[in-house]
Amino acid sequence: MTPDTLLRLANLTVPRKPDRRPTLHPDPLAGPATAAQALGLRRVEAAQLTDLRELHETVVQLVDGLLGGRPVPRPAARLTTLAGPSSATVRLEVTENQNLRAQLDWSEPTPAATLARRVALELGEIDLARLKRCERPACNLVFYDATRPGTQRWHADSPCGNRERQRRHRAASRAGLRAADDGSHDVPPPLKRP
Ligand SMILES: [Zn+2]
């Protein structure tokens, strides 16, 4: 599974294309309409923005802590509190061939509680070692590495992977040229003595 809600919140205010600024909505949580659009919600009330901002901050702190190898009990506790209003009831379903399936029906009291619950469930399920930040210095996007070997370094090949490979290639060529120049000056041609 991909932690879509977690990534959406962690990347909410990070430019998608770091080369193109300014972004259209630098802070999507500034108003209900842009917040709903950015978070994939049908509707957000102005009164719900405070909780959504707290949720966004919490997720950013949690992800920063996890990626930085720091302890995260505080943001984890805040996320738990934010998810608190969303509770579940269990329903036991009998399928056609007499199998039983337990189904959880979640209450959705506020957008912040719904999203916090989803983030908490995602975090409990993913492989945290695969949660990464794009290695391109100009980019700050967080991504989930779903490749089999788990060696993805950029959030996407376009633009970050391609740009980084170009940059590294150019840097390597320049270093190669300099080394060649230095070499020719440092070592004078051998003098022939009669
Ligand atoms: Zn990137």
Q: Where are the domains of the chain?
A: 4-185
- Taking alpha carbons only, the member of 157, 83, 152 closest to residue 120 is 83
Task: Tell me how far the alpha carbon of residue 170 lies from the centroid of ligand 1, in angstroms.
Answer: 19
Of all residues in the chain, the percent with pLDDT exceeding 90 is 72
- The pLDDT of residue 182 is 62
Task: Tell me how far the alpha carbon of residue 93 lies from the centroid of ligand 1, in angstroms.
Answer: 44
Round to whole Å and give the CA distance between 161 and 154.
6
Q: What topology is assigned to 4-185 in CATH? A: Jann2411-like fold (1.10.3300)
- The pLDDT of residue 25 is 47
Task: Tell me how far the alpha carbon of residue 61 lies from the centroid of ligand 1, in angstroms.
Answer: 19
Question: Which residues are within 5 Å of ligand 1 (an ion), measured at CB?
Answer: 134, 136, 139, 141, 155, 160
* Mean pLDDT, residues 55-60 taken together: 98
pLDDT of 82-91, one tens digit each?
A: 999 999 999 9
Amino acid in the structure at residue 61:
Q
- The pLDDT of residue 193 is 55
Round to whole Å and give the CA distance between 34 and 25.
8
- The two counts, helices (H) then strands (E), for the chain are 6, 4
Task: Tell me how far the alpha carbon of residue 176 lies from the centroid of ligand 1, in angstroms.
Answer: 27
- Taking alpha carbons only, the member of 5, 65, 13 closest to residue 40 is 5
pLDDT of 5-29, one tens digit each?
A: 999 999 998 877 666 655 554 789 9
- Indicate the pLDDT class of residue 191, thresholds 50, 70 and 90: low
Assess contact for 143 and 16: CB atoms under 8 A. no
* Mean pLDDT, residues 116-135 taken together: 97
* Mean pLDDT, residues 184-192 taken together: 52
Please say if the pLDDT value at position 187 is more than 70: no
Q: What average pLDDT does the structure give for the chain?
A: 90
